[in-house]
Amino acid sequence: MKSLWNDTEAANYTDELGLRVYSSRLLGRNTELVLHGGGNTSVKISQRNILGEDEQLLYVKGSGWDLETIDRPGFAPVRLDHLQRLAQLDQLSDPDMVNELKTHMTLASAPTPSVEAILHAILPYKYVDHTHADAVVTITNTPNGLQHIRQIYGDSMVIVPYVMPGFDLAKSCARCFAEQANDSTRGMILMNHGIFSFAETARESYERMIELVSMAEAFLQDKDAWQLATGTASAIAPDRLELADLRKQVSDTRGEALVMHSRRDARTLSFTGRDDLATISQQGPATPDHVIRTKRLPMLGSDSQAYSRAYEDYFKTHAASARETKTILDTAPRVILDPRLGLCTLGRSMKDAMIVHDIYLHTMDIIERASLLDCFQALPAQDIFDVEYWDLEQAKLSKSGKAPMFSGEIALVTGAASGIGKACVDSLLARGAAVVGLDINPAITQLHERMDFLGLVCDVSDNTAIEQALDQAVTHFGGLDMLVLNAGIFPKSARIDAMDMAVWQKTLDINLTASLNLMRLAHPLLKRAPRSGRVVVIGSKNVPAPGPGAAAYSASKAALNQLVRVAALEWGQDNIRINELHPNAVFDTAIWTDEILAARAASYGLTVDEYKKRNVMKVEVTSHDVAELTAEMCGPLFAKTLAAQLPIDGGDERVI
């Protein structure tokens, strides 16, 4: 492991807290040290308060902040003397501890201090760094972990037996530090948890962490427990309906929709194909911090069942006491391992699913390296349960806000690179959906740089391309809940007696046949949607009020309209609702250039602004307006609406 410290970069941070920010970000860049908000850092600073008195403060990472991106506001300033006095108490409940931390901050707007604040306060060093380094966690999760740690570090590390995070851990660390610390002490090992480094400067503390972890990595290399085998990906890929079934089963167990990300590369299949998978994968997480970061993770499922049978009896055993204490039990897995499916991870959002995904990729490495060194031995199930159903975690769950409308759901939008389609993508993302955007324009792949969007280049009139797109969508997100049929073309105006039959056929192929084909292929997925499938078709004013010169467009849209009505009759019994919008005069799309708008307005003797509002209400209809109504039609307000045709045109006299 190499140090990332750069003097030029560090020169941009001139004070103690600034350097704390910089070195924390360096730790956060290395996923073999911390993942998705894990780890902790602090610095002790003397500051003058409003009364002109100097106070010793502990600036410690606040709840909700990630080391990779943390900035000054991410550190909570807590009065150091109060924290050190709290450490002298014989006992302190975790809720009371959190109250003490929050009420003794010097900045009301700061985040809630880490539950490890007291631990950081009792260590007699200015800078303290804490990570869950893979190499250290690997070694401590073996039967001979303590012996290995002593062999690696000698007496230069304080070694603390596993204790659950919180006040008791702080007390245990204080006791072990008092008993073991000496002039050569350079850090602290928390068995089955992580590693601490500390020093008087940010650079020394950071580089000491790198050095200590490197020693653990070198030990694993010397023991031939570093290089991991990779197999070859299976030629038999899972059917997309199989994945959709699995996602629905887990969602039903959870009682809410979940997205599911699947990975089946050579490395993953090598792990899930192990003969001892059912044993090594059933023990629990590599570190209890991963239970918290993955939001109550029953870590297993060596087959495609909706929950881990290994944990079923365990949860039943604790169910009575959980009910008494109002504990929130959750038997739905977040990780599913299968020799053919590979690694499947689930969450209420794609962010949650990918946090679990990233953590389990590291967990696989930790398990296999521990197995090569000795054997993987996680904490006892009771310790894992205690962390998972920790009263502080329960408090977070009980106070959690209302989930977004489409949390855990997946939408697919055609013609998504611009105009109404792009606006639909944005509206659905804003409501919490994971979205797949299809478009023939390559720009679709760069439409959004976020994990809950997947942009695919796809010609909707190409059956093979649609099949591949659906496969990718289900592999990436787990299924399909909402379908927005927006892709279409508006050919150049032509009278019937001058119709180019190639143009006629192309218009029907894209506006009608492609929609029919996508509906046909999407139906089995929509039928498996945990909260029922929904389809919204973007029609046209030309359906109720066609115009001359638009025979191909009007006929294709009218036929699509009739297809919607038939689908409603056939799909309603599958609890799939399909509805249609008829927009008109939506000018913020690619086909309406400034020149075309000016020419059209002039032909009516109107200004461009007057032309845009040429309707009964004298309002402009935008792509965003259409998209918002599209999203709402997928929501609960339209839960009992089927085969509706709604105009969104500001009132067109011919339609009215």
Please spell the DSSP secondary structure of 9-28, one letter per residue. Answer: HHTT--SHHHHHHHHHHHHH
Asked whether the beta carbons of 346 and 260 are under 8 A apart, the reply is yes
Q: Is the pLDDT of residue 30 over 70?
A: yes
* 261: nearest Cα among 243, 279, 284, 288: 243
- Identify the pLDDT of residue 381: 66
Residues with a known catalytic role: 553
Q: What percent of the chain has pLDDT over 90?
A: 75
- Identify the pLDDT of residue 298: 37
Q: Give residue 456's identity as a one-letter amino acid code.
A: L
Q: Give the mean pLDDT of 115-125.
A: 95
> What are the pLDDT digits (tens) for 629-646?
999 999 999 999 999 999
| DSSP states of 101-169 | HHHTBS-TTSPPBPTTHHHHHHS-SSEEEEE--HHHHHHHTSTTHHHHHHHHHTTSEEEE----TTHHH
- Identify the pLDDT of residue 370: 95
pLDDT band at 99; cut points 50, 70, 90? very high
Q: Give the mean pLDDT of 425-444.
A: 98
> What are the pLDDT digits (tens) for 364-376?
999 999 999 999 9
- Identify the pLDDT of residue 101: 95
Q: Is the pLDDT of residue 591 over 80?
A: no
Asked whether the beta carbons of 196 and 212 are under 8 A apart, the reply is no
| DSSP states of 101-113 | HHHTBS-TTSPPB
616's tokens? 């009964």
- Identify the pLDDT of residue 296: 37
Q: Give residue 409's identity as a one-letter amino acid code.
A: E
On average, the pLDDT of the chain sits at 89
> What are the pLDDT digits (tens) for 331-351?
678 888 888 889 999 999 999
- The angle that helices 623-633 and 419-430 make with each other, rounded to 10 degrees, is 50
- Identify the pLDDT of residue 324: 45
pLDDT band at 384; cut points 50, 70, 90? low
In this structure, the number of other CB atoms found within 10 A of the CB of residue 275 comes to 8
Q: Is the pLDDT of residue 466 over 60?
A: yes
In this structure, the number of other CB atoms found within 10 A of the CB of residue 255 comes to 10
- Identify the pLDDT of residue 305: 42
- Identify the pLDDT of residue 389: 53
Distance CA 157, CA 649 (A): 72
- Identify the pLDDT of residue 325: 40
Q: Give the mean pLDDT of 78-104.
A: 94
Q: What pairing do the DSSP bridges indicate for beta strands 534-538 and 577-583?
A: parallel
Sequence-distant (6+) residues with CB within 8 A of 103 are none
More confident residue, 382 or 90: 90
Q: Is the pLDDT of residue 242 over 50?
A: yes
pLDDT band at 385; cut points 50, 70, 90? low
